[in-house]
Amino acid sequence: MPMLAQEIIRIKRDGHALKRSHIDSFVTGLVDGSWSESQAAALAMAMFLNDMSRDETVALTQSMTHSGRVMDWSKANLRGPILDKHSSGGVGDKVSLMLAPLVAACGGVVPMISGRGLGHTGGTLDKLGSIPGYNATPDVATLHRALQAAGCAIIGQTADLAPADGRLYAIRDVTATVESVPLITASILSKKLAAGLQGLVMDVKVGNGAFADSLDMATTLAESLVQVAIGAGLPTRAWITDMNQVLGHSAGNALEVLEAVAFLKGATTEPRQLEVTRRLSAELLVMGGLAADDIEALPKIEHALQSGQGLEQFSRMVSALGGPADFADRPAHYLASAPVQLTIEAPRSGCVSGMATRGIGLLVVELGGGRRQASDPIDPRVGFSHFAQTGQPVQAGEPLCVVHAADRASAERAREALLTLIHIGDAPPVLSPVLVRRIT
């Protein structure tokens, strides 16, 4: 007989470790609805406040993995190792949109299970949701066809893939229980284990725009992800990467898709964004046996980018999943643009010395590009583009970025707020490397 939800909540509330039977009961309740939203939120908060042991985290990960279907690719006629990448979340982090097709162009198969935005960070699914017709929840036959045609498919959780995590993910987003290392670990890995992967690389962000604002926390998260994944039989590596400024030139759903396509065309290659994309892609080629080491992998990624093959794989993916066949040729034609675009000018001369990156992410949410509640609709048009980079000299009156808003009042509010979030100093700052630490 299942244990009462309130008794399991009480155990964790009082600081005790949960047994596997408790966790299985919780996960079953998430799936069959016998646990209410308030009960699930209460246990998530107890887990957040009282932490979870490694054994509890492994148990939660495995239980959520097996709460639904686990993908079996043996009969899908896929020619290549099954690989994936996941980011712990940042502002302007559009790396998945470029990495998946680049790895596919090099012979990998990337069935990437992505999520919606959480808190101040953007979600890959929300970005792709700005593409007309793009189906992020295809049936199995369509998914197989997309992987056969493009070598990659960025999709969301289907109803039968780690369904317990799907419900818990939405609850965490609106109950301030996002920044928990065990919950993040279990959430990410349950989806990845259910996807039947042969190799995974994690991008764990650190800095003022990341869930992990300190290197110690980022290291703890990266090590948790690697150790739990390997313990569950999934080869995994992690990179800790800097998130003390917006990654790339844009933040906002359609704007980031536009930048990703420009990246794959070679039209815009912001150096930090390029370095993260190259390094994580190379890790996957090595893990998948598609390259012996970085010395061999990095030129393959560069060739896939420069030859346009990465762009071709992206185009095939969009088309196979219901989007326009010529989307990559003219993305601006298909992506909705905001009716108000306001250039934000530097109030003084100097050098961009830093950004309050989390605040910028929250501004995107305020504009309508993120969610306050799980049921909130997303406005894909809004956000920021043309960001000046940290370390860049600016003159008074020169552009710091452009705000894209639904109306003039929203644009003006965002302008006033952003001027307090982008800092201008007299001297160039000491820049952090974007690749901070590798965890194996």
What residues act catalytically?
84-87, 124, 172, 187, 191-192
Pairing of strands 350-355, 393-394: antiparallel
Q: Which amino acid is at 112?
A: M
SS3 state of residue 50: helix
Q: Are 187 and 165 in contact (CB under 8 A)?
A: yes
SS3 state of residue 57: helix
Cα radius of gyration (the chain): 21
How far is 343 from 355, CA to CA, in rounded Å? 17
SS3 state of residue 4: coil
Output the DSSP codes for 367-407.
IIIS-SSTT----TT-EEESPPPTT-EE-TTSEEEEEEESS
SS3 state of residue 353: strand
SS3 state of residue 241: strand
Question: Encoding tokens for residue 356?
Answer: 């309050």
Residue 113: beta bridge partners? 155
How far is 44 from 56, CA to CA, in rounded Å? 13
Output the DSSP codes for 202-226.
EEEEESTTSSB-SHHHHHHHHHHHH
Nearest of 411, 231, 399 to residue 339 by alpha carbon: 411
Q: Are 342 and 385 in contact (CB under 8 A)?
A: no
Name the residue with tokens 């998260």: 221
